[in-house]
Amino acid sequence: MKTIQLRKAFPKSGYNPGASALKIHLWYLTSLLLFRSGLLPSSTLLVYILRLYGARIGKDVRIKPFIDIKYPWKLTVGDHSWLGSCMIENLAEVVIGNHVCVSQHAMLLTGNHNYSKSSFDLITAAVVLEDGVWIGAKATVCPGTRAKTHSILTVGSVATRDMDDYMIYQGNPARMKSRRIIE
């Protein structure tokens, strides 16, 4: 068995947070005080503040208190979508379509580490939720995943690869269970 020598630093080769250190720190304080604390329950004001930080958000979007968004300038949300008290760890772009629901305590992850290298390099890849997608409570969408139109990831499931349109996925890793019927 080979012994792995770990380095003290985790390289972020090529990684760019997309904003200045000042903007990142200001967002961190804003997020802590107004978003993650739940002190500001008004969806309209939360959307307004996210737009000030560079998020591209459509009309009639509902954002619930206690949401945790890493970088709003790497977030796009379409019209009539609903974001519960979820975590959007968007080291890369997160694109959320129209009429999408991301339920409570769901996680959208765009970063991971290469565990096959002793340097544990950072890997980032976008997450895309197309129109009509529903991400269930406590579900996780992993980096590089595309949830195609009207697909569903059920409660507590983990999507590690793309989800086909109008299909329901369940489990860890998530597997296709049935077709979504919309009346």
18-61 pLDDT, tens digit each: 999 999 999 999 999 999 999 988 999 999 999 999 999 999 99
Stated pTM of the model = 0.91
Taking 70 as the threshold, does the pLDDT of residue 2 lie above it? Answer: no
Confidence of residue 83 (pLDDT cuts 50, 70, 90): very high
In the chain, at which residue ranges do the beta strands (DSSP E only) sit?
56-57, 62-63, 68-69, 75-77, 82-83, 87-89, 94-96, 101-102, 107-109, 111-113, 122-124, 127-129, 134-135, 140-141, 146-147, 152-153, 158-159, 167-171, 174-179
